[in-house]
Structure 1
């Protein structure tokens, strides 16, 4: 769900003077220029200027849109019956508990996807004067509108190719590169496409030289993108090849070959611009402890010291001092609770002072604004999904448990927002069911709060932060075999 208060200079175009829904026509009229089917309702007989409250929904109203006192009626379009059905009387309750009464409204139903499709609605617009105030003096009249953004999910443009186990990278121009992955869980894709955050559209770009999934992608200091390793098919034999995407030309070029083929590894951009690749597996059974460093100026790889513990399906992040923290994963016999730190200056790995409270793999790891690191979810030795989370203190090297997520989840995403909070989304539940739920971790209080659900349950998806602070979630799968092409925004 997404609420946004914005100024409206007058009554909405084409509004109909009606009291309530009862006397309104059954169907809305289609706006030929926008392709939108619309229904305008005015809840009293006076047309006034006011404030527009925009919120999007998919299929059902989110839980935090609570219907209370009868200010006006709202309808939504039913594709089954080709008409607008009454929803309920309502006030709007914001995520923070703020009550927004709807005294005078205009309602418009937005079809989902592109606006040329009239068959389903995923949003409404209400125009209300509830938050507008006017102050008058003898010489000046000033109108003040309060703007209160409330975060939630909305669908955006879909990719040209459905995919999961792909990568997603923020380009220097603010666009997003998505590449590779698989559409069926067995055959890798070499296609790539770019999301334009200004137009919310996808454009195909050059194909990778090698089809791959379960690989890594990293943005280099020159703005190009390095992809590393991965696997071509269900045999899970790894590539040792790497290639670079030129973000200016849209062309891929092969670069130096790693000394060891690997997938399920991690890749971290070091402060000097080189890339550290660590761990992984070459065949799905052998566990690697080796690590190597890529120099973009020479296009070559150099081995560095080996991790204390071989691992794959682990996570990694850069600490404030430029060191790299590697956490958990699968070892030679079981999941791991251990973590270790790589010092780029010495090329040496050091185990952390303590281990996590539980073993975990398929978890997420995010460096918080205070320099500490949040690890959440995953699965443990019993292959049970975890709802637990813990924080690594980068100063002491000690782990501390924090509050528990409302849902156990693994193979999800975690994104740090501009306000320092962390959004986790999707994944698999403790019983292996795909999740559409999402929740926020407040780094100041250590508490989790549920937010509205995504339109589609998904795991093996990707997520990144756009330049405007929104989170773009892309692709994934809901059943482990059929890929999703859809994408959605949280913000």
Structure 2
């Protein structure tokens, strides 16, 4: 949908969105319905700021993360067919706040992250056929809390994050991993966005990075053909937001906004470089949540801190541009959400910042 067509249909869509929200079951009504969540087997340990990656065989590899004992080098694999976890090979070093990217070869690239005292530049590859981790080229810049995106050319873009254990070390730099050579090379740097960002691959092969410091409203576009970033239209000044590309090619972003106490839905239309506020949220100040694109084209909005209290999961409907509640959910951040081959979503781990409390539990969301 172009900006022009979006403007022409806004009144109609707004009316349909209102009707859709009104027609959706209320939270009280849904309390009497069958929950879309089912409990899955728990991991062997508490984890948050870990990674979870769907492997070619349909199992899910979980690596690293932190808990009350600090960062860990352990990993384990979930088998949806048997609802069981099994120990996998260990990482070369303990990592939390790292990234895991499945390459076209089926191997998984683990990069960066660190512990409470160290930030890593090292990277390693996991081979699911041999259940082994092997070293690969180190990052140009040690970083944690960054984002990694598999580009259409098979290379991996790593962007942002923090260069030390201090949050005063926000990075604007980006770099590329070439699976053919096993090496990282520097590429263009962000001009405004830094530190915590989201990075979303667009239909045309570019990458949209959205700033997330709660102060500066900024988004930038990376062009793999030129290795450069250019400014995009400004979104809200998000804090703790998440972003995902819809089947239409638009990017959905939800999260707490500066000076506002809601976490409504925004859509970015790349072809017009245009943002549109499309729906209010049923949860106030949702941050640290996850967005998962479902086979139906709808998006699961799961967990998040919600002012440190429990809340509900929501679904975003791209046809009506609306968010509606689909059952209760825990208040955690630092969890992972992985789309399974069955169409369910495996949500594991996380932390509740108020207590604090760490989780080893796992649950599966089945779209109603």
* TM-score bucket (shorter structure): 0.7 to 0.9
User: 1:145 is matched with which residue?
Assistant: none
Query: Secondary structure of the residue that 1:96 maps to in structure 2?
Result: helix
1:59-138 alignment, distance < 5 Å: 96-98=10-12, 112-113=26-27, 115=29
Pick closer, same or farther for the CA change 1:336–1:320 going to 2, 3 Å. Answer: same
2:44 to 188, 200, 209: 209
Query: Match of 2:302?
Result: 474
1:411 and 1:117, CA in 2 relative to 1: closer, same or farther beyond 3 A?
closer
- In the alignment, structure 2 segments of 5+ residues that lack a partner are 1-6, 319-368
1:252 and 2:85 correspond: yes
Q: CA deviation at 1:305?
A: 1.1
Instruction: State the Cα distance separating 1:488 from its structure 2 match.
Output: 3.1
Matched-pair contact (CA < 8 Å) for 1:363–1:410: no
Q: What's the counterpart of residue 338 of structure 1?
A: 173
Measured after TM superposition, the shift of residue 377 of structure 1 is 1.8
Aligned residue number for residue 263 of structure 1: 96
Structure 1 345/113 Cα, relative in aligned 2: closer, same or farther at 3 Å? same
Asked if the contact 2:169–2:195 (Cα under 8 Å) also holds between the matched residues in 1, the reply is no
- Distance (Å, rounded) in 1 between the aligned partners of 2:141 and 2:14: 55
Distance 1:467 1:259, change over 3 A: same
- Distance, in Å, in 2 between the alignment partners of 1:391 and 1:401 is 6
Tell me which of 289, 297, 302 is aligned to 2:134.
302
Q: Which residue of 1 aligns with 2:205?
A: 371
- Secondary structure in 2 matching 1:115: helix
Aligned residue number for residue 366 of structure 2: none
Contact 1:476 1:483 in 2 (8 A): no
Distance in 2 (alpha carbons) for counterparts of 1:111 and 1:343 = 48
User: SS of the residue aligned with 2:176?
Assistant: strand
Q: Deviations over 1:357-397 (max 9, x none)?
A: 12512211001010010001222xxxx53321000001110
How far apart, in 2, do the equivalents of 1:447 and 1:464 lie?
Answer: 22
Q: How many equivalent residue pairs? A: 304
1:462 matched to which residue of 2?
A: 290
The question of 1:329 aligning with 2:157 is answered: no
Instruction: Give the aligned partner of residue 326 of structure 2.
Output: none
* Residue 182 (structure 2) aligned to one of 309, 332, 347: 347
Q: CA deviation at 1:282?
A: 1.4
Deviation of the 1:95 alpha carbon: 5.5
Identify the match of residue 414 of structure 1 among 229, 243, 246. Answer: 243
Q: Could you say which structure has the larger radius of gyration?
A: 1
Aligned residue for 2:280? 453
2:196 aligns with 362
Query: Is the counterpart of residue 441 in structure 1 residue 275 in structure 2?
Result: no
Deviation at 1:429, TM superposition (A): 3.3
Instruction: Give 2:220's match in structure 1, choosing from 375, 382, 390.
Output: 390
Q: How many angstroms apart in 1 are the aligned matches of 2:294 and 2:24?
A: 24
2:352 corresponding residue in structure 1? none
1:483 positional shift? 4.5
Are the aligned partners of 1:274 and 1:293 in contact in 2 as well (CA < 8 Å)? yes
Tell me the distance in 1 between the aligned counterparts of 2:264 and 2:55: 33
Summarize deviations over 1:251-309 as a string: whole Å, max 9, x none: 111100001101111110001000001111112x4211111111111111011111010
Bigger relative contact order, structure 1 or 2 (CA pairs below 8 A, ≥6 apart): 2
Indicate conservation of the 8 Å contact 1:472/1:490, yes or no: no
Q: CA RMSD in A?
A: 2.6
Look up the SS of the partner of 1:97 in the other structure. Answer: helix
Note if contact 2:298-2:315 (Cα within 8 Å) is conserved in structure 1: no
Query: Matched residue of 1:454: which SS?
Result: coil
Question: Per-residue CA shift, 1:13-52, capped at 9, x if unaligned?
Answer: xxxxxxxxxxxxxxxxxxxxxxxxxxxxxxxxxxxxxxxx
For the residue of structure 2 that corresponds to 1:441, the secondary structure is strand
Query: Are residue 243 (structure 1) and residue 157 (structure 2) matched?
Result: no
- For structure 1, which runs of at least 5 residues remain unmatched after alignment? 1-92, 119-156, 158-198
* Distance of 1:101 and 1:421 partners within structure 2: 21
Question: What's the CA shift for 1:468?
Answer: 0.8
How many angstroms does 1:100 deviate by? Answer: 9.7
Would you say 1:424 and 2:253 are equivalent positions?
Answer: yes
For 1:5, the equivalent position in structure 2 comes to none
Question: Counterpart of 1:473 in 2: which secondary structure?
Answer: strand
Give the CA deviation at 1:482: 3.2
TM-score normalised according to structure 1 size: 0.58
State how 1:165-314 maps to structure 2 within 5 Å. Answer: 201-233=36-68, 237-283=70-116, 285-314=117-146
